[in-house]
Structure 1
Amino acid sequence: MTSKIPFYISVALIIAAGIALSIFRHQNYGVPWTPGETRQVWDIEARIEFNGQDKPVKASLAAPHTQSGFTLISESSSSPGYGVSYVQTDTGRRAEWSIRNASGPQTIYYKTQFLVDPQANVEPLEPSKEINPPTFDGPVEAAAIALIERANERSADDITFTRELIKSLNDPDSQNSSLILNNMSKVAAVDNILAYAKIPSKLVGVIELEDGRRRQTIQQMNQVWDGKQWILFNPSNPGQLFKENILVWDESNVSLLDLIGGQNSQVHFSMIVQEVSPSQATQDKVEADGLLNFSIHSLPLEEQAMFKTIMLIPIGALIVVFLRVIIGLKTSGTFMPVLIAVAFVQTQLVTGIVGFLLIVGTGLVIRSYLSKLNLLLVARISAVIITVIMIISVFTVVAFKIGLTEGLSITFFPMIILSWTIERMSILWEEEGAKEVVLQGGGSLLTAVLVYLAMTNPFIQHLTFNFIGLQLIVLGGILLLGTYTGYRLTELRRFKPLAED
């Protein structure tokens, strides 16, 4: 007897592969598990204003990039007459504008779109090994050393050291803090003291995302390297900053805007948020990150719409296998109910059931007449096909004439499958009687209705369309059901007398 262990191992591997593919798509592409979820996209516009001095102008603005929690999906510029380019420098990405001559008030717009993305892929830039400590005046240096010693005593690493330092600087009773803050701002004080203590850190410019906000200016904060990533700190807040609406715009640690040929420059930010569907968010993320996307979303929209229905058929097949193998429900044909359910999806349930009963009922009457002619099988089936087409045509025209526009969708029924169904039921009627026809026809219709309810479920539609790995899980389930050799539930009634005895 052949061992089934390799079979069960193969099924386990298929199911595991399906689960792994689904988890990978969720974590790397950000596809949600449930339908109805929306993703946020922030439109952020930087407005650069300055006065031209009637000579060549070159403006360089620090440009943001994909970071933890946010994926940059697009950027554009509106600057009539200016040349624009996006360059990578030693201090990070920058957007540069240039023009041969500019005079008077000038305005340049730079717009970006960020997808709120918890799975954003970003490789942090490690700090340089060399740290140049600043030079303090005598009293200020003594105060800085005192704050460093106090923070060292109450900390265990660079992150907790920074937290304790910020607490000390925000202590109104600390004379050392007051002395230092008389000469510099809090953000500069934190940066200088961390550099003096040889702790990797840098100044960054951040903006706080708030829907509908206008003319917001950039804020300076501190970032500290913890060995793996940069941790953001607000020098005015002793607690560590974990706000999800904080976007790091300028990581250059040099300047937000460099301007040559102009004066009185200002940079203001405006922002709005919009909700997008998961499919649109996934497409934007794939294009932004350059990911290799093997999902259905990479196809043209017309093909996507087609596959949205095709990917539901395995779910129908799983239901049919379960009903026939475990329940023991009889159907006319193996997977005819699945195709009928697909037609129900197009016609709606009530219209589909009425159309199915009318077509099959009328077809059986005509087929009973054809059986008396003793035709060959091929000719008889061809005649039934033509008859079904004529029945559908007549019902459609009649429905349209009496104002039942729902009846127009009856053309979605698979004509060949209906023809074979009528042929099989007619033969079954002659051999087994009307009772068996009702059992198989009713079982087919019940199965089609159950498959229709599954196919129209928003949760199932979302999973089948967005997670290709689900098809492998369904395949594994069907293979396992195929090994069942026990009694079907409908057969148990035969043993009812034994249970009563």
Structure 2
Amino acid sequence: MTSKVPFYISVALLIIVGITLSMFRHENYGVPWTPGETRQIWDIEAKIEFVGLGKPVKVSLAVPHTQTGYTLINESSSSPGYGVAYVNTESGRRAEWSVRHAEGPQNIYYKAQFLVDPQAKVAQIPPTGAIEKPAFDAPVESAAIALIERARQRSADDVTFTRELIKLLNDAEGQNASLLLNKMSKVEIVDKILAYAQIPAKLVGVIELEDGRRRQSIQAMNQVWDGKQWILFNPQTADQAISPNILIWDESNVSLLDVVGGQNSQVFFSMIAQEVSPQQATNDKVQADGLLNLSIHSLPLEEQAMFKTIMLIPIGALIVVFLRVIIGLKTSGTFMPVLIAVAFVQTQLVTGIVGFLLIVGTGLIIRSYLSRLNLLLVARISAVIITVIMIISVFTVVAFKIGLTEGLSITFFPMIILSWTIERMSILWEEEGPKEVVLQGGGSLLTAVLVYLAMTNPYIQHLTFNFIGLQLIVLACILLLGTYTGYRLTELRRFKPLIED
């Protein structure tokens, strides 16, 4: 008989190493055990994409600086082969990259770290120079003057004037506003009307900070000078409550990105939030080094946001192992519920459950017809895959047409896994009967819901992403559960008659 001592020693080592790594991360980098305990830092990455034309290239990107509520604590660039410099121009700070020769697709990364700092104060730069009055066509000018007169009657200063002007533009029944909106966007209208009314204002580019967001584009908003500071306005909504997670990225009022020597240029933003200690934040200890450089925190932010979901999968696997080994719950497939739970995270729970039942139910009906054709396994599975794709397409279009926008997220379901699930349940129906299909299907759905609840728990999300050692502890627990050879809880009902006797 093989000794299990080496096995238990290995499990103990996994637990010890996992706890040690987690303690090291907590003590040396100040990461809290629970979310929301300490200061928050935003890692924001701008990814510049363009196609080089085989000649010298110069790229200029407007970059942010410390502003009210946010302190810039670090910035860096990843651009192999390019020279980089941070310059202060008349229009604001810019990062400039240059290379003698660039051809084909090019990627440049700029990363900035901002500390959420309510005490951050920045010297406000007042507007200078005369305001240039824009020229309008006669009908447009008449509509603009009418809006100015109406907004001026309802306002007391430049800030309230801007607020009333935005309300008028968002009035669906306003004819003057409709005329202007046919010519320009709301942001441009507000900017031009304010200039026409000789009110100091400018356009700024902002990004909305959302943890795990990828490939976000910059949004344009308006700023108005109230005599002491610049006030931000979002003309897209009559509600002037600006989200606290708005970061002003581009104050140049000129251009966000300039590329000389390239074409098809574009820039996208990815961001992720980290919880750190106040001392670590103020002392600028966020820079990854040593062991941290070997972790997912050294990856680009777009990949980090992806790993934030991937690191939750071991928790789902642990739940599945516990339910199958200890509880004795039956599922259709071993880890299919985990993948379904990942889809639920994207679709939301209710929408995901309804979509899952509709797809599997419809697929079983179609699969029952295919079984009569006596097709080979490969052909039958391929037909089921195509059928699942068609079902998802039909359900998505129907949901959109009737106004259920939540149905659009049904495309996140793993089509191959659903196809195998339908095939597996169909065979099970033929061999074991509908009762077994309901048991395994219901068990799979219950497991997926439990895994979803664990994956969306903020504490679990925080621990799995910030403490890589937790994965070793989860692995050790799964190994220990794998050695269990006792009765499952659902099997104890078989012995109920013996207890009664």
With normalisation by structure 1, the TM-score equals: 0.53
Q: In the alignment, which residue of structure 2 is the partner of 1:6?
A: 6
Query: Aligned pair in 2 of structure 1 residues 375, 280: CA closer, same or farther (>3 Å)?
Result: same
How far off its partner does 1:279 sit?
A: 4.5
Q: Match for 1:278 among 274, 280, 299?
A: 274
Greater mean alpha carbon deviation, residues 275-284 or residues 320-329: 275-284
Alignment of 1:154-173 (within 5 A): none
Residue identity matched to 2:402:
I
Q: In the alignment, which residue of structure 1 is the partner of 2:190?
A: none
Alignment of 1:307-322 (within 5 A): 307-322=307-322
Residue identity matched to 2:24:
F
Query: Aligned pair in 2 of structure 1 residues 288, 478: CA closer, same or farther (>3 Å)?
Result: closer
Q: 2:301 aligned with 1:301, yes or no?
A: yes
Residues 27-84 of structure 1, C-alpha deviations (whole Å, 9 max, x = no match): 111111101233179xxxxxxxxxxxxxxxxxxxxxxxxxxxxxx9569x9999xxxx
- Is the CA contact (8 Å cut-off) linking 1:337 and 1:448 kept in structure 2? yes
Residues 230-286 of structure 1, C-alpha deviations (whole Å, 9 max, x = no match): xxxxxxxxxxxxxxxxxxxxxxxxxxxxxxxxxxxxxxxxxxxx9995347779524
How far off its partner does 1:6 sit?
A: 0.7
User: Secondary structure of 2:294's partner?
Assistant: coil
Instruction: Give the distance between the partners of 2:121 and 2:342, measured in 1 at CA.
Output: 48
User: Secondary structure of 2:459's partner?
Assistant: helix
Alignment of 1:382-401 (within 5 A): 382-401=382-401
Q: In the alignment, which residue of structure 2 is the partner of 1:464?
A: 464
Give the aligned CA root-mean-square deviation in angstroms. Answer: 3.3
Instruction: Give the distance between the partners of 2:114 and 2:376, measured in 1 at CA.
Output: 68
- Is the CA contact (8 Å cut-off) linking 2:336 and 2:444 kept in structure 1? yes
- Is the CA contact (8 Å cut-off) linking 1:31 and 1:466 kept in structure 2? yes
Query: Aligned pair in 2 of structure 1 residues 393, 27: CA closer, same or farther (>3 Å)?
Result: same
Instruction: Give the distance between the partners of 1:451 and 1:471, measured in 2 at CA.
Output: 16
Query: Aligned pair in 2 of structure 1 residues 320, 213: CA closer, same or farther (>3 Å)?
Result: closer
Alignment of 1:172-321 (within 5 A): 278-279=274-275, 284-287=284-287, 293-321=293-321
Query: Aligned pair in 2 of structure 1 residues 377, 7: CA closer, same or farther (>3 Å)?
Result: same
Q: In the alignment, which residue of structure 2 is the partner of 1:342?
A: 342
User: Secondary structure of 1:34's partner?
Assistant: coil
Q: 2:31 aligned with 1:35, yes or no?
A: no
Q: In the alignment, which residue of structure 2 is the partner of 1:423?
A: 423
Residues 334-367 of structure 1, C-alpha deviations (whole Å, 9 max, x = no match): 0000000000000000000000000000000000
Q: In the alignment, which residue of structure 1 is the partner of 2:330?
A: 330
Instruction: Give the distance between the partners of 1:493 and 1:423, measured in 2 at CA.
Output: 31
Query: Aligned pair in 2 of structure 1 residues 288, 484: CA closer, same or farther (>3 Å)?
Result: closer
Query: Aligned pair in 2 of structure 1 residues 290, 8: CA closer, same or farther (>3 Å)?
Result: closer
- Is the CA contact (8 Å cut-off) linking 1:32 and 1:278 kept in structure 2? no
Q: Which has the larger radius of gyration?
A: 1
Instruction: Give the distance between the partners of 1:213 and 1:424, measured in 2 at CA.
Output: 62
Equivalenced residues, count:
288
Query: Aligned pair in 2 of structure 1 residues 25, 360: CA closer, same or farther (>3 Å)?
Result: same
Instruction: Give the distance between the partners of 1:288 and 1:498, measured in 2 at CA.
Output: 62
- Is the CA contact (8 Å cut-off) linking 2:29 and 2:276 kept in structure 1? no
- Is the CA contact (8 Å cut-off) linking 2:288 and 2:298 kept in structure 1? no
- Please list every run of 5 or more consecutive structure 1 residues that lacks an aligned counterpart in the other structure: 42-71, 81-112, 117-208, 215-273
- Is the CA contact (8 Å cut-off) linking 2:40 and 2:276 kept in structure 1? no
Query: Aligned pair in 2 of structure 1 residues 371, 5: CA closer, same or farther (>3 Å)?
Result: same
Instruction: Give the distance between the partners of 1:210 and 1:375, measured in 2 at CA.
Output: 67
- Is the CA contact (8 Å cut-off) linking 1:399 and 1:408 kept in structure 2? yes
- Is the CA contact (8 Å cut-off) linking 2:288 and 2:297 kept in structure 1? no
How far off its partner does 1:381 sit?
A: 0.3
Query: Aligned pair in 2 of structure 1 residues 346, 114: CA closer, same or farther (>3 Å)?
Result: closer
User: Secondary structure of 1:285's partner?
Assistant: coil
Q: 2:373 aligned with 1:373, yes or no?
A: yes
Residues 205-230 of structure 1, C-alpha deviations (whole Å, 9 max, x = no match): xxxx995899xxxxxxxxxxxxxxxx
Instruction: Give the distance between the partners of 1:413 and 1:420, measured in 2 at CA.
Output: 13
Instruction: Give the distance between the partners of 1:299 and 1:8, measured in 2 at CA.
Output: 34
- Is the CA contact (8 Å cut-off) linking 2:360 and 2:422 kept in structure 1? yes
Alignment of 1:84-103 (within 5 A): none
How far off its partner does 1:455 sit?
A: 0.2
Percentage of matched positions with identical amino acids = 87
Residue identity matched to 1:438:
V
- Is the CA contact (8 Å cut-off) linking 1:464 and 1:471 kept in structure 2? yes
Instruction: Give the distance between the partners of 1:397 and 1:422, measured in 2 at CA.
Output: 22
User: Secondary structure of 2:285's partner?
Assistant: helix
Query: Aligned pair in 2 of structure 1 residues 399, 473: CA closer, same or farther (>3 Å)?
Result: same
With normalisation by structure 2, the TM-score equals: 0.53
Instruction: Give the distance between the partners of 1:421 and 1:497, measured in 2 at CA.
Output: 36
Query: Aligned pair in 2 of structure 1 residues 212, 309: CA closer, same or farther (>3 Å)?
Result: closer
Query: Aligned pair in 2 of structure 1 residues 319, 114: CA closer, same or farther (>3 Å)?
Result: closer
Residue identity matched to 1:325:
V
Q: 2:457 aligned with 1:435, yes or no?
A: no
Instruction: Give the distance between the partners of 1:212 and 1:421, measured in 2 at CA.
Output: 55
User: Secondary structure of 2:373's partner?
Assistant: coil
